[in-house]
Structures are given as C-alpha cells and as structure tokens.
Structure 1
Amino acid sequence: MKPNAADYLSREEFEALQLRRLKETVTRVYNLVPFYKAKFDEVGIRPQDIRSLEDIKNLPFTTKQDLRDHYPFGLLAVPMDQVVRIHSSSGTTGKPTVVAYTEHDMKVWIEVMMRSLLMARVGPGDVVHNAYGYGLFTGGLGFHYGAEALGAAVVPSSVGFTKRQLMLMRDFGATILCSTPSYALHLAEVAEEEGFDPRNDFKLRAGFFGAEPASEGLRQAVAEAWGIKYFEAYGLSEIIGPGVAASCEYGELHIFEDHFYPEIIDPATGEVLPEGEEGELVFTTLTKQALPLIRYRTRDISRIYREPCRCGRTILRMGKVVGRSDDMLIVSGVNVFPSQVEHVLTKVEGLTPNYVIVVDKRGVLDVLEVWVEVDERIFTGDLGSLENLKHKLEEELANHLFLRARVKLVEPKTLERSMGKAKRVIDRRELQEKLGG
C-alpha cells in the first residue's frame, strides 16, 4: 500500500485544511457540548471569531480533570445511538477518563494506524505480534485494526505469559513486535534465559513501541537486543489512542496533523511557545465526532519542528517526549524527569535499563536515590568493582541532573518487571508528611 497523500501536503494545503476543520469543530462543540459553550462564553469567544489558525490561542484549554468531572458521557457531541465503541484510560485517581467513537471516528483511527505502520512498510506477509493490552486500553485494538487493514496477520497476544509469547513469536514467525519498550526488553531477557538468541532465533525485523516515555538509551537497548528497527508510536486515549504520531525510518516522529492540531505551551503560563522550544504538548482534534476536544493538555513535554523530514513527509515533527509535566519530580528545588535518569543509566557500561527512583525526606531535606540493576554479564560480587561503578554513576547523575543522588546497585533481575507501563518512581515524601515526617 502506498503512503497516504496527506503526509506530503504543502504547508499551505495543510493550513487551509486545518483551518476549515478547526472552524467546523469549534462550531460543533459550541452548539452540541454544553461544557464548551459555557467555557467559550466565559472567555467571550464565539465560533465566528476563529478566522485564522493563530486564533486557536484564544480558545480555552481542556484537561483530564474536565473529562473526569463529566464522567462518563458528559462531553459527547453525539447521541449514544451513534456511538459504536467505548474505551477508557486507567483510573488510578478516582474515575477513569472515558472516550467514545462513532463509525467515522473508527475509520479515522484505522487510517492513522495504517499510516503509522506504513512507516515500517507493514503489509501482507508480515506477522504482527501485538503485546499491547487489549480491552478498555486503546493500545491493543488500535494496532490490531491498523495492521489488519494493511493485510498483515495479527497475533493478539496482549500482555503477560511471557514464555508463551516467546513461543508464539518463534512458532508463528513474527516479523513485527508491538509493545511497550520496557516489556520488549523484558521479552529479550526471558528469551536469553530460555536459551534463545533474540537476534537470530526470531524473525523480527521491526517493532512499534510506545505508551511510556523512553530515553535514547532504552530505545537503542531494545533495538540491539532484538536486532530490529525501532519505530516509536505516540498517542493518548483522549485524542484517539495510538496513531497521533509515529516515527519514520529516520527515527523522526511525525504528527498526523490533518486530524490533530498540535501546539507547544509553557506549562506554567499556558502561553504558546515558538517553534523548537520545549514545553507541554497540546492537541485539538479536527475530525472527531463523538468526543472532539479543544486544546487538550497532554502533560507530555516535547517540541515541534516544521522543516520537512529526510523521508519526504511534510507533516510536522515532534521531539521525543522527555517526560510529563505531572510526572516531573521537584527535588530540592531541581526539576527531575525519570527519562533524564534513564538516559544516564544507559550510557554507563555495566548497568541495565531497569531502575527505580526513590525520593525520601530526611528532616527538611529531600533525598534522591536511584536503584539500578547491575548487568549479569559483569556481576561478579567483587565489592571493589561495584563500588567504583556506584561512584561513577553518582558522578554522571550529578553532572546531568545538577543534583546529588545516592545510587543503590542491586543484583540482576531483582527489580519488578512490568507487563505494561513501567513504574519508575516511588515518592515517599507525601506519605511521610501525612505521618508527620
């Protein structure tokens, strides 16, 4: 199948299409969603005030809390008899966020997933081993439908039962792996434990990885462990699921901006930032019917670039997500993202990318501790070597974080593995405050 023509439009064509769709979306939500009518009226804006793409900055933001406050269907722009699919994200703090799709929305989702998978030329003859979670989580079904539409064979393995997954990958001749990057690395570890060579005993040629931030080091570790090309998938359930952006053969993340209009804002002030500056990624859906969202704050920290890519696509590029504004740790006044720690770990020889960040409070002082596994290939129990490795990592962390961190080296395969999104941070300070220090 040939690449989608929308990936190669000129800027003028893109902007004309976006403006037309933006006007339609703004009019739609104003007339059909009481929440948006109230928000627009509050700031004194009407649909007819949107005359250019720059006018989007005058529209109010939407947050995840807004979706929770209107749980389950308070933000729908269509009656329920037009809804054909319902998904939700995990509700770790109260109610989950619920998303709904019309038949038109499902076609858009399949389209952008096809465009994502075409980055790796997925098609007939490929066997796609889909180790994303199925069910209410959008990841599994998003990749499933996109791969099927391209004519590939899909193995809906979902998560868990790692040894069985490896058996299926070998026996069915999987050529494409879809999973979180941390789980892909875990699969490779278990394959080696079972006596297999991930690079030579499997037929994988590429993988699509996402659903969690990954440093360049983790991406390289996954690609090298399996001997495959690493493709990144970016998305979020509230916007559509996976399929908001995907990386090309040159590793550049491309946003499908004919459906999702992106902005970068200062997370503190909400002001739109110039091209190339790092800030919070915001999306406005341009074609969704069931749950259109205006200026949805993703909390993901990234950048946007406009110049065309070497692959020939003219759609905007976004930088790798370096973390989330709501996942950012403030330790002794210093901003710390887990991805920064991960980047350092993957550059120090003798360590694995498996780690946990623990933040404590000692009296009035914050204490940052990093627990990281030593690579079993160098783990000999020699205390002198381990102490040298510990000091080296502490120095590297200090140089990158501008903050002193304690390092705790642990034996190989002792930290808990995640079947989905890896949990990297344990912040004990809030509990300690509740208990009175």
Structure 2
Amino acid sequence: MIYDIQNETLPREDLEKLQLRRLQALCERVYANVPFYRRKFDEKGIKPQDIKSLRDITLLPFTVKQDLRDQYPFGMFAVPKDQIVRIHSSSGTTGTATVVGYTKRDIDNWGALMARSFAASGATAADTVHNAYGYGLFTGGLGAHYGAEALGATVVPVSGGATRRQVTLLKDFAPDVICCTPSYALFLAETGEEMGINIKDLPLRIGIFGAEPWTNEMRVEIEKRLGITAIDIYGLSEVMGPGVAIECAEAQDGLHIQEDHFLAETIDPVSGEPVGPGEEGELVFTTLTKEGIPLIRYRTRDLTTLNTVPCKCGRTTARMKRVTGRSDDMLIIRGVNVFPSQIESILIETEGLTPHYQLIVARQGNLDTLEVQVEVNESIFSDEIKNLQRVESKVMKNIKEFLGVTAKVTLVNPKEIERSVGKAKRIVDKRNEG
C-alpha cells in the first residue's frame, strides 16, 4: 500500500524541482537563523542565492556529529525556543550528547513519514503494533508510536526490557506488527522458546527492524524463527529519527528514502567527493523541511549505495542499499578493512552457530589482533570437542578466505554473550587497555 500517492510516486523531474525549491529555502533559512551555518557559508565564500541547481549542493559545507556536540545544547536550533515542542537527545556515552529539537510541524511530518513507512511494510489501520523500541530521549519509541497512530493502527507501547513480559504480551495481545532492533527480535524468539511459547505460532506477520546494521542472513534467521516478514527501516536522531527510509514489502529491494523531505548523497568517506551512481559511499543527508534543527549535508558515516530506478511497488523515490557498516566502526586489522556485518554473514551461514557474537580487538606488541566470540546453538552444544574445533577451524578459514584477515574464533556456550534490549554491542576494543 502507498500511503501518500502524490509524493511517493512523483516523476523524478518533478521531485528534483521540489527538492531544489526546498533546498534554496533551507539555505536562506539557516543562513539567517543559525550562526553556525552563517559562519560556515561565509568561510566557503558562498551565499544562499548561489544554489541554482541540485548539483550546487557540493558547494555547501558538511555537517558532522561533532558540530552538534560543539553547539550543545541549543546552538543548532533555527527557531526560537518557544517554538520547540519536543527535544530528543543521544545518550552521550561516547562524548557530549547531541540534542535535536522539533517544532509542531516537524512532529506532524515525522508522524506522516512513519505512517508512510508502516504502510510500505504492509501494515494497515486495522493492525496492532507491538512497539519494543525504547521510549524517552531515544527517538525510536516515540517515532514508531506516533507513526502507527497516524496510520490508524492500535499501539502497544511496551518500550524496551522486561523480555519475558513482552513475550507474554505477544501471546495475549496477538499483535500483527512488531518494532524493535533485529538482535532483540531473536532474543524474544529465544526467550519465548524457554517459556514454551513459539512466536512463530502467533498472529505476528510483520517485523520492522532498525537502529543497528544487520545482514540479509540475519533477516532469513529472523523470518524463520518468528514466522514473519522482516522489514529494514532506517533513520537517525540527528536527521529525524526512524522513518527516513524503509523497504517496501512488495520488493524488499533497497530502502525507499523519503526524498521530498531528505536530499541524499553518497560521498567518498576520505576525500568527501561525490561517488558515481551505484558506487558505495558514505551516506549524506540534507533535511529539506525540518524547522527546529535543519541540517546541511550531514555525514551519517553509514556506507551504502543509491539507486534511482523506480521500484516495482510504484514508488519513484531513490532506494538505498542495506547499510553494510559504518565508516567509523570499520576495523583495520593489519591493513585489512573489516566490518562486523561481513563477519556476521559468515557466522550465520555456518551450521550450528547463532547470530550472537562479539569481535574482540586487542594489540599484541605492535600488531592488532581479532578474536571472534560466537555462541553455538543447542544442536551442537553437547558435541565432542573435536567437532567443535572443526567448526572453529571452518569459520577461521572462511574469514581468512573471504576477508583476507586472520582471526581467532572462540565458540562459547548458548546465552553466554550478553543480550541487549537496544543496539547489540558487537565490538569490544581492548587496544588502549593497560
């Protein structure tokens, strides 16, 4: 189902005209109202009126997460504080928190874009949505909540945690749709099995998963364990929250970007130069309609490719390939670039292993080392030592052959790796310890 026929099916020529008008208005607005951007524009020697085509976006400055931290808390706001109706914020666990403000129109737009997203997943107004994204300063919970309500669906605002209770509610309330991180979906399935409840037997039919990178192999595992269609959703707090892009249920061939609200680019993460059509690059967003905290060329650090060929579902918006990793969580092990998603693909394709793993990076002398700790499933838990060693050797060999890096592989017992109700912690970096 297409929620917003007019805007989701615009011919590309009309869409680009709309984007240009909104980009030009955005530049005028931030230059007038945000001292940070006025300074950035002046440093580059450009004025808003210099933007005469979409190609001119390359004249504009980039914005990075540190810029938002440097302007903490409200230095990036483009409207007076009395026009801000809600504030969200990152946790600040890796530095000063980033703060995002929303006007009433921003909140309404966000709800409409999330309603589009739910409709694209196959959800309808008749459905019940079990929302296990965290509520609070994190954008996931409230973003999904308001979008499901805008669609007309019934929302169960469970939030994160209390996993056994969540499984009970899935059985008792019989929702049609679940929203959570992909790793938490598998944790729910695992917990259900411990409780004697097979989620696969429940009416649940759609899962909308985001907030962490995940592979297609993990999708297959989730769909098998929960008996649902697993849909990938993309968003980030700084740009809006969830709903910036989502897969459609008809094709599941890339995530449709809400291009009437977000102008997307892909760039070389080192040089900052645009990459060619279909080439992998770092995803960059310009928020075309945000009032509270509009952003110019925000570097997401997420790696993907863009495809502007219309989808068979009828939407004409560009599609982004599933995020393969982040330019800032890429590991460089003895000169080899490694992403957690690449390791995950190898693990999930190996019989007897689960998608629960951690990558332990350490330093031995002057060399970095990589250890992959991965849980075995119950089927091989009691196998003889030599059989487990054979699995370890097979994974080590595959990592070496496919990724070109030598890694130690350690099989651990089921449930040994700590579960998360939010984003799974995939990398443990011990290089600066001791």
Q: What is the TM-score when the length of structure 1 is the normalising length?
A: 0.97
Q: Which residue of 1 aligns with 2:349?
A: 347
Conserved? CA contact 2:361–2:368, under 8 Å = yes
> Is 1:219 aligned to residue 216 of structure 2?
no
- 1: distance between equivalents of 2:392 and 2:122? 43
Q: Which amino acid aligns with 1:92?
A: T
Residue by residue over 1:163-183, the C-alpha shift from the partner in whole angstroms, topping out at 9 and shown as x without a partner, is: 100111111111100000000
> Is 1:305 aligned to residue 294 of structure 2?
no
Q: Secondary structure of 1:377's partner? A: helix
Q: After the TM superposition, which of the residue ranges 376-385 and 354-363 deviates more from structure 2?
A: 376-385
Q: Which residue of 2 aligns with 1:328?
A: 330
1:374 to 1:83, Cα distance in 2 relative to 1, 3 A: same
- 2: distance between equivalents of 1:98 and 1:163? 33
- 2: distance between equivalents of 1:399 and 1:346? 16
Conserved? CA contact 2:176–2:205, under 8 Å = yes
- 2: distance between equivalents of 1:368 and 1:2? 45
Q: Which amino acid aligns with 1:221?
A: E
CA drift of 1:375 comes to 1.1
CA drift of 1:137 comes to 0.3
Q: After the TM superposition, which of the residue ranges 259-268 and 399-408 deviates more from structure 2?
A: 399-408
Q: After the TM superposition, which of the residue ranges 179-188 and 323-332 deviates more from structure 2?
A: 323-332
- 1: distance between equivalents of 2:2 and 2:342? 38
- 2: distance between equivalents of 1:425 and 1:2? 38
* RMSD value, Cα: 0.9
Q: Which amino acid aligns with 2:57?
A: I
> Is 1:276 aligned to residue 286 of structure 2?
no
Q: What is the TM-score when the length of structure 2 is the normalising length?
A: 0.98
CA drift of 1:2 comes to 5.0
- 1: distance between equivalents of 2:401 and 2:155? 45
Q: Which residue of 1 aligns with 2:371?
A: 369
Q: Which amino acid aligns with 1:55?
A: D
Q: Secondary structure of 2:82's partner? A: helix
Q: Which runs of 5+ in 1 are unaligned?
A: none
Match 1:412 to one of 414, 421, 426: 414
Residue by residue over 1:202-254, the C-alpha shift from the partner in whole angstroms, topping out at 9 and shown as x without a partner, is: 11000100000001111111111111001111000000000100010121210
- 1: distance between equivalents of 2:61 and 2:126? 47
Q: Secondary structure of 2:284's partner? A: strand
Match 1:264 to one of 239, 263, 266: 266
Q: Secondary structure of 1:408's partner? A: strand
Q: Which amino acid aligns with 1:230?
A: A
Residue by residue over 1:73-99, the C-alpha shift from the partner in whole angstroms, topping out at 9 and shown as x without a partner, is: 001110011000100012012211000
Q: Which residue of 2 aligns with 1:149?
A: 150
Q: Which residue of 1 aligns with 2:208?
A: 208
Q: Which residue of 2 aligns with 1:253?
A: 255
- 2: distance between equivalents of 1:124 and 1:312? 21
- 1: distance between equivalents of 2:241 and 2:423? 15
CA drift of 1:125 comes to 2.4
Q: Secondary structure of 1:199's partner? A: helix
Percent of matched pairs sharing the same residue: 56
Q: Secondary structure of 2:290's partner? A: coil
Residue by residue over 1:289-324, the C-alpha shift from the partner in whole angstroms, topping out at 9 and shown as x without a partner, is: 110000000010111011111211110000110111
Q: Which residue of 1 aligns with 2:241?
A: 241
- 2: distance between equivalents of 1:154 and 1:165? 14
CA drift of 1:111 comes to 1.0
- 2: distance between equivalents of 1:181 and 1:116? 17
> Is 1:8 aligned to residue 20 of structure 2?
no
- 2: distance between equivalents of 1:144 and 1:194? 28
- 1: distance between equivalents of 2:314 and 2:266? 24
CA drift of 1:124 comes to 2.7
Residue by residue over 1:351-385, the C-alpha shift from the partner in whole angstroms, topping out at 9 and shown as x without a partner, is: 00000000111112221110000111222141111
> Is 1:428 aligned to residue 430 of structure 2?
yes
Q: Secondary structure of 2:343's partner? A: helix
CA drift of 1:3 comes to 2.3
Q: Secondary structure of 2:363's partner? A: strand
- 1: distance between equivalents of 2:223 and 2:283? 27
Q: After the TM superposition, which of the residue ranges 12-21 and 214-223 deviates more from structure 2?
A: 214-223
Q: Which amino acid aligns with 2:3?
A: P
List structure 1 runs of 4+ shifted beyond 4 angstroms.
Answer: none
Q: Which residue of 1 aligns with 2:87?
A: 86
- 1: distance between equivalents of 2:403 and 2:102? 42
Conserved? CA contact 2:392–2:411, under 8 Å = yes
CA drift of 1:404 comes to 0.9
- 2: distance between equivalents of 1:2 and 1:262? 21
Q: After the TM superposition, which of the residue ranges 214-223 and 152-161 deviates more from structure 2?
A: 214-223
Q: Which residue of 1 aligns with 2:77?
A: 76
- 1: distance between equivalents of 2:62 and 2:146? 31
Q: Which amino acid aligns with 1:49?
A: D
Conserved? CA contact 2:3–2:115, under 8 Å = no
Q: Secondary structure of 1:75's partner? A: coil
Q: Which runs of 5+ in 2 are unaligned?
A: none
- 2: distance between equivalents of 1:309 and 1:25? 29
Q: Secondary structure of 2:274's partner? A: coil
Q: Secondary structure of 1:429's partner? A: coil
Conserved? CA contact 2:309–2:318, under 8 Å = yes
- 2: distance between equivalents of 1:312 and 1:123? 18
Q: Secondary structure of 2:113's partner? A: helix
Q: Which residue of 2 aligns with 1:102?
A: 103
